[in-house]
């Protein structure tokens, strides 16, 4: 038996970053099934085009833009694509990030730090700013940002990544209190899910990956559509209109906050 909530996002236009693969692509499938109009975006041009074609073949109203979030005008271009295509914006999912392989804190470089920061909190900040006037014009909206247990609980080898992810949680809480009067809700999802990123981690550092797996009380890794997609869909929907400023782990009971 599977949980579906078809039409819960009907008429809602949503941007999803990093939706060419992994968690972002899984979220895109779930949101499309629930009736959302989607703008997919990723640095991987073939992957994001393939994701768009896959969802369009299922009948979704979907467009895509391939762009590096570090480009100075990326946020304006992505939001502009949504407004050109749908004439409105109701939701923003800031899922993308890029990081270098995990390494001890003292080996991490400023370049490692900048890569995580530029593709994580910096891009999230810029997209939130670009989206804000359109969410206000729509009478409100929902932003879903992405954190990680690597930051909230601390994970060996992930200094730059953990810092970037906790910066995103700070941005989220400030925007939630500042934009609450605009009826804009801002929340953070912290997943543990079977993406390409998770598989790369498993290959590069099996010991740390297996330790993370073993710490999951529900004893499995999450599904990008059924577990993470379902939560993101709920947060974007009108079922969650009194829910803001929250950090929600969808990680089988792992990833506690310290």
Ligand X SMILES: NC(=O)c1ccc[n+]([C@@H]2O[C@H](COP(=O)([O-])OP(=O)(O)OC[C@H]3O[C@@H](n4cnc5c(N)ncnc54)[C@H](O)[C@@H]3O)[C@@H](O)[C@H]2O)c1
The residues annotated with a catalytic role in the active site are 161
The answer to whether 130 and 182 are in contact (CB under 8 A) is: no
Contact in structure between 121 and 164 (CB atoms under 8 Å) = yes
∠ CA 164-169-175, nearest 5°, is 125
Site residues for ligand X, window 110-139 (CB under 6 A)?
A: 119
The site string for ligand X over 72-111 (x = CB under 6 A, - otherwise) reads -----------------------xxxx-------------
Task: Classify residue 14 as left (phi > 0), alpha (psi -120 to 50) or beta.
Answer: beta
Going by C-beta distance under 8 Å and a sequence separation of 6 or more, which residues neighbour residue 82?
A: 13, 15, 39, 88, 89, 134
Q: Which stretch binds ligand X (CB under 6 A): 6-14, 19-27, 50-58, 237-245?
A: 19-27
Binding range to ligand X, per CB under 6 A, among 20-28, 83-91, 126-134, 232-240: 20-28
| Binding status of residue 28 toward ligand X by CB under 6 A | no
- Closest distance to ligand X from the beta carbon of 100 (Å): 12
Interaction of residue 21 with ligand X, rule CB under 6 A: yes
Residue closer to ligand X by CB (options 45, 84) is: 45
Stretch that binds ligand X, among 4-12, 13-21, 51-59, 239-247 (CB under 6 A): 13-21
- Which residue number is nearest to ligand X in terms of Cβ? 22
Q: Can you tell me the distance from the alpha carbon of 180 to that of 202, in angstroms, rounded to the nearest whole number? A: 39
Secondary structure string (H, E, C) spanning 47-110: HHHHHHHHHHHCCCCEEEEECCCCCCCHHHHHHHHHHHHHCCCCEEEECCCCCCCCCCHHHCCH
DSSP annotation of 167 reads H
Binding to ligand X, residues 182-201 (CB under 6 A): 191-193, 195-198
Least separation in angstroms between CB 109 and ligand X: 18
Token pair of 165, please?
Answer: 């992810």
Which among 28-36, 50-58, 68-76, 134-142 is the span making contact with ligand X, rule CB under 6 A?
A: 68-76
- 68 interacts with ligand X by CB under 6 A: yes
Contact residues for ligand X (CB under 6 A)?
A: 18, 20-24, 42-44, 68-70, 95-98, 119, 146, 148, 191-193, 195-198
């Amino acid at each position: 038996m599977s949980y579906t909530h078809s039409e819960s996002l009907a008429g809602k236009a949503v941007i999803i970053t990093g939706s060419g693969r992994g968690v972002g692509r899984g979220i895109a499938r779930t949101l499309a099934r629930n009736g959302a109009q989607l703008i997919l975006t990723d640095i991987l041009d073939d992957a994001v085009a393939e994701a768009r074609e896959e969802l369009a073949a299922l009948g979704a109203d979907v467009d895509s833009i391939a762009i590096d979030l570090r480009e100075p005008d990326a946020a304006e271009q992505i939001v502009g694509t949504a407004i050109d295509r749908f004439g409105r914006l109701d939701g923003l999912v800031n899922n993308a990030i890029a990081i270098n392989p995990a390494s001890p804190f003292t080996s991490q470089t400023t370049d490692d730090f900048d890569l995580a920061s530029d593709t994580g909190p910096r891009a999230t900040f810029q997209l939130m700013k670009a989206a804000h006037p359109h969410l206000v014009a729509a009478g409100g909206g929902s932003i879903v940002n992405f954190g990680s247990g690597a930051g909230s609980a601390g994970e060996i080898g992930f200094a730059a990544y953990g810092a970037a992810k906790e910066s995103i949680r700070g941005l989220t809480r400030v925007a939630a209190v500042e934009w609450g009067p605009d009826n804009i809700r801002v929340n953070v999802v912290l997943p543990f899910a079977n993406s390409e990123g998770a598989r790369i981690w498993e290959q590069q550092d099996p010991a740390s990956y297996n330790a993370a797996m073993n710490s999951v009380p529900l004893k499995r890794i999450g599904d990008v559509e059924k577990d993470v997609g379902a939560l993101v869909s709920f947060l974007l929907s009108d079922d969650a209109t009194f829910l803001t400023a929250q950090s929600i782990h969808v990680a089988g009971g792992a990833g506690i906050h310290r």
